[in-house]
Structure 1
Amino acid sequence: MIDVPIGRTVSGGRTFPLAFRVEFVRQYHAAIERGEKTQLMREHNLTRATVREWLRADGRGEFTAAMVASSERSKNKMNNRDRAEMARLRRENERLRAKVAKSEAAQEILGKGVPRTREAA
């Protein structure tokens, strides 16, 4: 089993961190029993095309240890939960800005209210 969490895109698709892909390719190459590679793909619900692309990338040298290390220590790395929270906060911020603008426009139209006098009190 691979202990690297799989992320989600905004639309719900899965995103696989570089560390996950490297570990999967390592386990895929280590699988020698009949059906073991297929079982590994089913275990992670991966298509043949996805695995084939990862194997090609590994063959081109894109999955080096330095790349994995740099992706793990990225300072600006956000997980999908953080991205979803940020999107929710941006929507709320826009909604509140519109509400404030509407309230300010209404106050401008209505004025600051009628001043109270001693006779009215």
Structure 2
Amino acid sequence: MDFVIPTRLSNRHHFTTAQKLAVLDEYDKCLEHGSKSELARAVGIGSRTLSGWFNDREAGILSSRSDSIKGNDVPEYQRMTVSDKKLLKQLQKENDALRAKLAKSEAAVDILGKASALLAAMAESATATDPVMEELEPGRPAWLTPKHSDPSL
């Protein structure tokens, strides 16, 4: 376990709400059979107490007697349930994916802008170098125009 066990002055002292939440975060990570009971023994509380804290947290009513006495009670609107935490993680992942998609789209727009400017410059330079041919007679095709090989005629 990489978890730092919260300390109490004695068995009569209460855990703060922050300590309870830290223990419950570790409780959520316990997946193996018997690991939740092992965590409860390591912290020095009963497994029923730990499951009671879990239920209180899920209901949004987890608090501590020591916080109430010291005036450090966490307001109800600041508490997050497990489902709220899962939703937050899901939304953060979705937000990261959308940011990556936005960056990719912005890069594509930038490339398309540069390509458009390049094509416009190429078209402009092509029209500037095209030779201008004059029509001999307006409306008369060149093959109908007589060709004079002898200038004296």
Q: TM-score, normalised by structure 1?
A: 0.44
Task: Work out which of the two has the higher radius of gyration on C-alpha atoms and give 1 or 2.
Answer: 2
Q: TM-score, normalised by structure 2?
A: 0.36
